[in-house]
Amino acid sequence: MTDQLVPWDPTTSTAVSSFDFGTVGQGSSADVALRVKNQSTAFTAIGVEVSFGGTGSQYLWLSTDGQRFTPSIQIGDLLPSALSDVFYLRRVMPSDAPSGAGSALLDISGSWS
């Protein structure tokens, strides 16, 4: 196991490698619950932040409370092998969004101590 921060599915207790929203209709939205896992057994992750980049990132929002959504969220510090509290990813497609596939990259950043 390497020292890394990974998205974590709180329902299945497994790492998440991608999000598949399937065919997404214009004017629709959907939420996904997530956590971040510190896979290091030796180091604390300091100042963990979650955000998105890529061509589809303008349709993705994050929230720690399920009510206020922003482009990025602060998780704080995660002890070795710890999981963050649950947070939410919201996909919002405007009614005039272009059709076709889009992609976005989840960015989980922090430093190690």
Q: Which tokens hold the place of 16? A: 């998440």
Judged against a pLDDT cut of 70, whether residue 102 lies above it is answered with no
Q: Give the model's confidence band at 26: pLDDT under 50 very low, under 70 low, under 90 confident, else very high.
A: confident
Asked if residue 111 is part of any domain, the answer here is: no
- Percentage of residues of the chain with pLDDT beyond 70: 91
Rounded to two decimals, what is the model's pTM? 0.87
Report CA torsion sign: 66, 67, 71, 75: negative
Asked if residue 22 is part of any domain, the answer here is: no
Asked if residue 105 is part of any domain, the answer here is: no
Name residue 51's beta-bridge partners.
Answer: 72, 107
Q: For 46-79, how does the pLDDT look when each residue is reduced to its tens digit (9 = 90+)? A: 999 999 887 778 889 999 999 999 999 999 999 9
Number of domains observed in the structure of the chain: 1
Asked if residue 79 is part of any domain, the answer here is: yes
Asked if residue 91 is part of any domain, the answer here is: yes
Judged against a pLDDT cut of 80, whether residue 103 lies above it is answered with no
Asked if residue 56 is part of any domain, the answer here is: yes
- Percentage of residues of the chain with pLDDT beyond 90: 60
Q: What is the pLDDT of residue 59?
A: 86
Asked if residue 58 is part of any domain, the answer here is: yes
H or E stretch at 70: none
**DSSP structure class, residue 68:** S
Host domain of residue 66: 5-16+27-95
Asked if residue 113 is part of any domain, the answer here is: no
Q: Supply the Cα-derived Rg of the chain in whole angstroms.
A: 15
